[in-house]
A and B are shown apart, each in its own frame.
Chain A
């Protein structure tokens, strides 16, 4: 496969996916849903999941109770599987949470111990910190990886062209979060960093081949060298992705909601990571390398 030659097409595909994700954000915001579905962990607030155990009407029955007790005019109340409800409000204290639960308990004769599936309250401070942490984690990880690869491959071009596709991966994952409205919570950072690690792992296997072929095959066209290396490692790239996808996909189909929220972006991210290491990383390295040769030639 002529990876380097078809880079215009492969880059365009990547850009379209990324743009779709980026466009979804202002569209969502315009519809009043917020650019991403930030969980309380990222923006602060309280979320309670309660098992009602019978039919209920969110807008006529539950919403007025929530507004009355919490004083939050626009609580987000959603149905969760099997006659349950998730109530998301601004951050409220233990006493208010108790009152809210008691009110619902009275209305639906809830079980004292089992009806409250889970409750989470996060102050705005933690929310801001999480956002900063997410950015910090991304930046620090990218820089360290850049340094490590540059050091191991003794060539900054390898480092740079391994890190650029990571930007693609992050943006594609972000597109999943924005288009499919996957809640952005604690596991968001874990998902992103796992994908970065995985994607760069794939890239390194390919670059390792380029490094090796460069030594053994003398006087080879750079384009052929890159294409040959990518194709030699192609089966491995696909098989590895398939085995990882096997486990994570089973997890997605069988998992509880919190696992699904984790597995879905991971699945897309793994595919994006494989795509970028095959179709973006090597062509970028090729472009950086030929650019340098050209300048060297023109100076000579």
Chain B
């Protein structure tokens, strides 16, 4: 019994150590599951965040997707490779660009209008995106029976006339198609086209044709994008924020560990091991979820450490009471855990309700806070009800049976 319990205890310590090690270093060169693998939000890494709104009532989801594609394309061309664009709600786009040195320039770069142009051999602009009604991918089969993907561009009335005129004038010559002054295709005019549709063919795959169609359509965006909100944080400020928060977190955790040890003795030691397990695991979980950590997120974690101890406190107070009422140590531990359960469950679920609503209503930074808070609540319930329980039971089994060790008023 003693040996078995000792082994279980050792195993718990090894797992805890492993979690902390993983949290610190991760696996492999990419620090998989480690703290280094957690993406930092703009407020910690520095960068720009912009929210655009479509200047149009009820844009369709296709239009929004095209707008997203447009912005993403501009960011890629501007070498903002880590930038992310997401559609938020029905008519908004959120752009996050981490680690930029000159935020205002990034905003200007994105803000410039995308321009689709059909350019004649003489270098004159024949048509622009304003005359494009639609662009989509299609597959055509040529005279030799070979199928290949093309992009079909459909013009409006004005565009149709201009294109008919141009194709007549430049037959067998090249018309350059450019997006934002980058040449994306240079087809040879094979026929006079009066139908108002043009095929752009080239050596592209179906995916490339899809992308090109989306980009052309994006160039012909049916609405203007207004900046609703923009926020930029200098990289230095972000680093300072992260470092001080981490330091505060570490000191806070040490204080909590000491408090528990002094107040609850052997039970406190069990809670401390569980808390260290908790801290390591929450970092591993955030890393595995590929969550983005923001400043409120860090605050959420630090707050959750204080709360993680709560379940333990409820249980230990209960064990103490049971011991004082004269129960044996084993019976008191069991009763303590089972009687504390309903309070812990109900209390945590109501806090989860608050976190869920924050996640639902919040945007950006607040979502991150809600996420870490929710993970913290669920994980803290697990560590208190499972990990602490395993450790305390083994403590009892290996002979730590004096009720005084568990803060009871009298000896057995």
Contact = CB atoms under 8 A, between A and B. Distances in A.
Interface of A: 49, 93-94, 97-98, 101, 112-114, 116-123, 125-126, 133, 136-137, 140-141, 144-145, 148-149, 152, 186-187, 189-190, 193-194, 196-198, 200-202, 204-205, 208-209, 212, 232-233, 235-236, 239-240, 242-248, 250-251, 253-256, 258-259, 262-263, 266
Interface residues of B, number: 73
Contacts of A189: 358, 361-362, 366
Interface string B354-382: 11011001101110011001000000000
A162 to B, nearest CB: 8
A251 B252 contact: yes
B259 A112 contact: no
A156 to B, nearest CB: 16
Given A97-B104, A201-B310, A126 B228 contact: yes
Given A121-B231, A194-B354, A259-B241, A126 B51 contact: yes
Given A98-B104, A126-B228, A247-B256, A136 B361 contact: yes
B390 interface: no
Contacts of B309: 240, 243-244
Contacts of B342: 208
**Centre residue among B227, B309, B354 by max chain A CB count within 10 A:** B354
B171 to A, nearest CB: 45
A243 B248 contact: no
Contacts of A246: 252, 255-256, 259, 306
Contact of B303 (A194, A205, A255): A194
B247 A254 contact: yes
A259 to B, nearest CB: 6
**Centre residue among A113, A126, A187, A244 by max chain B CB count within 10 A:** A244
A118 B353 contact: no
Given A236-B314, A244-B303, A247-B303, A186 B354 contact: no
B255 A204 contact: no
Interface stretch (B31-39, B58-66, B294-302): B294-302
**Centre residue among A94, A126, A133, A141 by max chain B CB count within 10 A:** A94
Given A187-B296, A189-B366, A200-B351, A137 B233 contact: no
Given A94-B104, A190-B362, A262-B299, A197 B227 contact: no
A189 B366 CA distance: 8
B196 interface: no
B331 interface: no
Contact of B241 (A49, A123, A245, A256): A256
A256 B244 contact: yes
B202 interface: no
A98 B351 CA distance: 44
Nearest to B102: A113
| Chain B interface mostly | helix
A133 B237 contact: no
B40 to A, nearest CB: 15
A94 B111 contact: yes
Nearest to B101: A113
B299 A137 contact: no
Contacts of A254: 244-245, 247-248, 251
B249 A141 contact: no
Closest 4 pairs (CB-CB, A-B): A244-B306, A247-B252, A197-B354, A197-B351
A254 to B, nearest CB: 4
Nearest to A138: B357
Given A116-B232, A148-B350, 17 more contacts: A93-B227, A94-B111, A116-B103, A117-B236, A119-B103, A120-B229, A122-B229, A141-B354, A187-B365, A190-B296, A193-B354, A197-B353, A208-B342, A239-B263, A248-B302, A256-B241, A259-B299
A262 B369 CA distance: 12
Given A93-B227, A197-B355, A236-B314, A118 B347 contact: no
B301 to A, nearest CB: 10
A145 B350 contact: yes
A240 B313 contact: yes
A275 B154 CA distance: 68
B253 interface: yes
Contacts of B120: none
A94 B352 CA distance: 40
A256 B364 CA distance: 20
A12 B64 CA distance: 55
Nearest to A123: B228
Given A94-B104, A243-B306, A247-B306, A116 B234 contact: yes
B142 interface: no
A126 B229 contact: yes
Contacts of B248: 247, 250-251, 253-255, 259
22 contacts: A118-B233, A120-B232, A141-B353, A145-B353, A186-B365, A201-B307, A204-B347, A208-B343, A209-B343, A239-B313, A239-B317, A240-B307, A240-B313, A242-B259, A243-B313, A247-B252, A247-B303, A251-B302, A254-B247, A256-B237, A256-B240, A259-B299
Contacts of A202: 347
A242 B357 CA distance: 26
B351 A201 contact: yes
B350 to A, nearest CB: 5
Interface string B214-236: 00000000000011111111101
Contacts of A133: 361-362
Interface string B254-286: 011001100100000000000000000000000
